[in-house]
Amino acid sequence: DNAGDVSMETQETPQINIEEIPSSGTLTPEQIAAKVKPSVVAILTYNNTTSASGSGVVMGEDSTHTYTYFLTCAHMLDGFTNAVVQLEDETQYDAEIVGYDNRTDIGVVRVKATGFTAAEFGDSTQLQVGNDVYAIGNPGGTSFYGSFTEGIVSAIDRPVNSELGYTQVCIQHTAAINSGNSGGPLFDKYGQVVGIVSAKYSSYGTSGESVEGLGFAIPINDVISMIQDIMTNGYVSNKAYLGATVGTLTAQMAQQYRYDISEGAFVYSVED
């Protein structure tokens, strides 16, 4: 949906690969925490009037080892002009917003620095209901940096309506999620990223019943090609596009333009 102001140089961006299941088998929660925590960061965004705090995960360096790229959520970047990557020791790096896609709620930033620990990415299509999953992020902001929570997969391919009016197909899970976890990774039992934390339900239904354990993550297999596209082009380049603005024809408009019909679709404009 949006490309940042980043000038794409000739260097190649990181290649995000789905790793095979490790032959060494599953890891304990303690082993997973030790393995993955260095790959998770805080993403801070702001403009002249507001700010946001979320999470992100290290994807890797470009071919010239000049920039490091981080994956986060689009709603962490949309409407903001400035971004910062913060580490657990409170070291901060000014970040460039490479681009983001509101429909899938994925976004990319990069910093002109290297030496970060890249995460491994796993196969989200292999997840099954009941599998253990783990979330790491910064719920409530950097005061709770790197919080590690455990849950299980509650449902696969759960349609969820986003605040922007799009329907996303998500992994539903029970790992504790709060404001500030957005953009952080969801790991499987091998310590591989299988999803990006996007949303949670804190209430449900017309009467606003309180709920717990309803977290949602974007399956990594569904968006990996789009992530690569954003890193390369600054936006998702292969979407279908109508190129016209269409609205509803009203009776008043029909009378004004002397149409023989009184209802239907009206093409307001067509782009070049």
Residues carrying an active site annotation: 75, 105, 182
* Beta-carbon-side half-sphere exposure of residue 73 (alpha carbons within 13 Å): 29
Closest CA to 114 of 59, 64, 66: 66
Closest CA to 42 of 119, 139, 133: 139
Cα 24 to Cα 16, 20, 28, 188: the distances in Å are 22, 11, 12, 14
> What percentage of the chain's residues is helix, strand, coil (to nearest 5)?
15, 40, 45
- Give the list of residues 6+ apart from residue 164 with CB closer than 8 angstroms, or none: 75, 102, 103
**Two structure tokens written together for 256:** 């004004």
Work out the angle at residue 60's Cα, subtended by the Cα atoms of residues 57 and 61, and round it to the nearest 5 degrees: 140
